[in-house]
Amino acid sequence: MTRGLLSIAVLGVLLAGCQRQAEPAPAPSPTRASPTPTPSPIAQVDLSRYIGEYPTEDKAGAPSFLRQPQVRGAVAAVVPDKEVRALVLGSDVTATPIALMEGKLVAFGCEPHNCGPHNWAIAIRPDGSGAAVCLYDQDRRIARWYPDKAGPAPVNGCPSGE
């Protein structure tokens, strides 16, 4: 009989353990997670140093105007069309020196040996703000600014600063 009582007692202890609520797991100790890296901001450059320079030529110690991250970012922000951005920021271009017109730098480019009907321009303030892009393609009958109405519709081509 003691053996029966002992078995019942052990069974009771085991059942009591099953009915008991589980103890909460210890909270994980706080760890120092490395913060998500944020993209580094584009360094602001005074673009007026490019006045008189050709937009495709590197400047001593600096990329060309068209390779300048500040210019590329500004163009990308106003021109949604990837092909137009590639054209405007490309290096296979005939260009004139960058000029200052009405407070903006104007970088003009055109298709080599076909400037009249195929040209474009970037207009941007020296601090990199207020960017606008002109596109003129006589064959496709495109004469417009990005963003819309950023300038008067180009009639015979984009402004060249000359």
**Beta-strand pair 132-137/142-146:** antiparallel
Residue 14: the pLDDT is 37
pLDDT at 22 over 60: no
Residue 10: the pLDDT is 36
* Mean pLDDT of all residues belonging to the chain: 80
Contacts of 82 (CB under 8 A, 6+ apart): none
Q: Report pLDDT digits (tens) over 33-63.
A: 444 444 445 567 899 999 999 999 987 788 9
**What is the phi/psi pair of residue 4, to 5°?**
-65, -40
For 44-71, b where at least 16 C-beta lie within 10 A, e where not — what string?
Answer: ebebeebeebbbbeeeeeeebbbebebb
Q: Report pLDDT digits (tens) over 74-121.
A: 999 999 999 999 999 998 899 999 999 999 999 999 999 999 999 999
Residue from 115, 119, 114, 124 nearest 50 by CA: 124
d(CA 161, CA 88): 16
Q: Where are the domains of the chain?
A: 47-146
Top-tier CATH class for 47-146: alpha beta
pTM above 0.85, yes or no: no
**Angle (deg, nearest 10), helices 69-78 and 82-89:** 150
